[in-house]
Structure 1
């Protein structure tokens, strides 16, 4: 039996933790049964509704979920379906695309109880993408501490990026959007439009690709990104997969490399919004790492999962990319860095897809970005 330490037991109580360890069905309402795909069948279950623009979900040991709402609340959805607000979250600038964003548990959460959050900090005039952590205990976050804040903010409250992902060495990846300030993205002296690699304390690891350069931010792992809201790390080999919003067109799936330049805004497959003329200087360049795939038509990608469990046996090794505007999930089959097959899932069934995650039980979980959004579970038959 797993060792659920005092931090986790204090969140839900010893008796409840014991009951969860004993097993039992999770709560939920079946929305549709026997949804057929090319290789799998699944039931779609609504775990919880009435969530206000939920942004991210993390899985608690033994069952239950933490869900962020962009408006600034963190919700604990118990295994029995009851929803409780978690106190102690940081103050956020909940405006436009900003607010309370990603949530991730420390890899050693059972022992240390740390919950990591990304959010928009600052004020109405100038906001920043920030990251911090607090100790989850007795239903609230204690001693919340801001660990990182981007060096330059913006007055527009858009393109925060803000996805998190853990590498096997215990370092933490974090995306920072371009904040609609394209001129900063190719500039290594700022965090704008970058993928960062941080220690668990929010510092820059000494072996980051630009750590020894005086003209670069030491936190940067890769650059040339617009607004990356899909991020997943393959636990087998630490391959980093990332989806990035383009302008009109140009939504990308990228395999990330240390020190890599992914082109934005100089080299892009996207086009200008008003005119549909090509954006930037070129569609390809020898100095820029090209995407593995360009999503056409526009996906507006947010949320990215890798299927690792055998519950969806035919999908094992596939990526699942959520789409906001497209209101669908794309199942993506990749061989030798080439997309060889794709399939649409849940197209138009539940609305704008904000997050997609594989749960510890092998089910696939989905959040919808709506004023009355929900957490859904895809259960294989």
Structure 2
């Protein structure tokens, strides 16, 4: 059995794409040219691709969770307590009205935002959030339209609700990746009850796949309902909080939290089982062993794993023009060690190495996406959270 590429290091040495909306690079650069205030906050860092510049586009956000680029270059940002806001010309809007109420408990709240591929004409977006319901809390996915004046959401409709709510306040997932046909892939964690990830009739611990109206795509492995829930694409996931397609080859990639060690990158395929909690490269927080080891017939190996954990929050595939040296590499936002991990891939897509950026400089990095001009956008999951832009440093 092929073993995954891994990152295993001494803890004492640790600190040493969503699918974007179409937008012209010219419009992006015009809207996000650094203001004098932003320029004062800009910092430079050395990387293997040369010097990069990090600018703070906005601060004062309360635990921002996700950022997306709108067609005119403005940004739309979620805050976990339940607010959705627009960032344009360096100014944050007030909270948008009529956003569905999120249950901001534990790790839950308003989570991801993704823009429909036709957002420029239909104004449709998708949100994931934790909601209160029978039995406690669970993950739901909502479809809505942003009003022309950006003051409110319209035509709000819940198109997915997980089938078993519980009182636990952890492992809700849940990024969204939109396929080229407009269908939605997203993950839900095991909700802190690990055995649920092995039950194909339980949405917890799964990657799910639905149509934009909430219907079931023909490609789903359980569409007939005989082997498990029709919405489920793959099972055996602990807490997948990052999901993205590679724009070049359409490959679906996820990143998920392990326990004490065992954070994983996977390529979820229909009907496959990714092992949690039967196999894992991590241990329980008590130090006890989990499951049956690191491999078992019928269960998939990760493409890559970390030991110790970095607590990954999001994943993006770099296919931009600003950093040609990074073409095809994976960008992973990390919470625990407050960094951005760049994973090098060869021409076959195999992960061959890792570079760690911004260690501890900006706090918990929750999201990362590739902007239309090839810059990276990140948000920091802090009480005074920020939106950051990573670009090439000016040459002297």
Does TM, scored on the shorter chain, surpass 0.5?
A: yes
Shift of 1:302: 0.5
Shift of 1:163: 0.7
2:101 aligned partner: 91
Aligned length, in residue pairs: 364
Are residue 55 (structure 1) and residue 62 (structure 2) matched?
A: no
Distance 2:271 2:31 in 1: 46
Q: CA RMSD in A?
A: 2.0
Distance 2:146 2:93 in 1: 16
Runs of 5+ consecutive residues of structure 2 not aligned to the other structure: 1-21
Name the CA shift for 1:22/1:92 in 2 (closer, same or farther; >3 Å): closer
| Contact 1:239–1:256, Cα closer than 8 Å, also in 2 | no
Are residue 23 (structure 1) and residue 35 (structure 2) matched?
A: no
- Note the alpha carbon deviations across 1:96-138, whole angstroms, 9 max, x for none: 1010000000011011100110001115960110001111112
Secondary structure of residue in 1 paired with 2:355: strand
1:366 to 375, 378, 386: 378
Shift of 1:87: 1.1
1:11 aligned partner: none
2:177 aligned partner: 165
Secondary structure of residue in 2 paired with 1:98: coil
1:267 to 269, 272, 279: 279
Instruction: Give the alignment's TM-score, normalised by structure 2.
Output: 0.88
Distance 1:284 1:59 in 2: 40
1:346 aligned partner: 358
Are residue 133 (structure 1) and residue 149 (structure 2) matched?
A: no
1:299 aligned partner: 310
Are residue 182 (structure 1) and residue 194 (structure 2) matched?
A: yes
1:230 to 242, 245, 251: 242
Shift of 1:190: 1.3
Are residue 285 (structure 1) and residue 282 (structure 2) matched?
A: no
| Contact 1:134–1:145, Cα closer than 8 Å, also in 2 | yes
Distance 2:134 2:378 in 1: 31
Distance 1:343 1:22 in 2: 27
Shift of 1:303: 1.2
Shift of 1:367: 0.5
Distance 1:187 1:22 in 2: 47
Name the CA shift for 1:62/1:343 in 2 (closer, same or farther; >3 Å): same
Distance 2:291 2:305 in 1: 16
Shift of 1:25: 4.5
Shift of 1:61: 0.9
2:333 aligned partner: 322
Distance 1:52 1:62 in 2: 25
Structure having greater relative contact order (Cα 8 Å, sep ≥ 6): 2
Q: Which moved more, 1:246-255 or 1:331-340?
A: 331-340
Distance 1:223 1:133 in 2: 24
Distance 1:303 1:251 in 2: 12
Name the CA shift for 1:337/1:286 in 2 (closer, same or farther; >3 Å): farther
Distance 1:291 1:327 in 2: 23
Distance 2:31 2:117 in 1: 25
Shift of 1:78: 1.0
Shift of 1:20: 5.5
Runs of 5+ consecutive residues of structure 1 not aligned to the other structure: 1-7, 9-18
Distance 2:108 2:244 in 1: 22
Distance 2:103 2:80 in 1: 9
Secondary structure of residue in 1 paired with 2:331: strand
Shift of 1:261: 0.7
Secondary structure of residue in 2 paired with 1:184: helix
Distance 2:224 2:154 in 1: 35
Shift of 1:84: 2.8
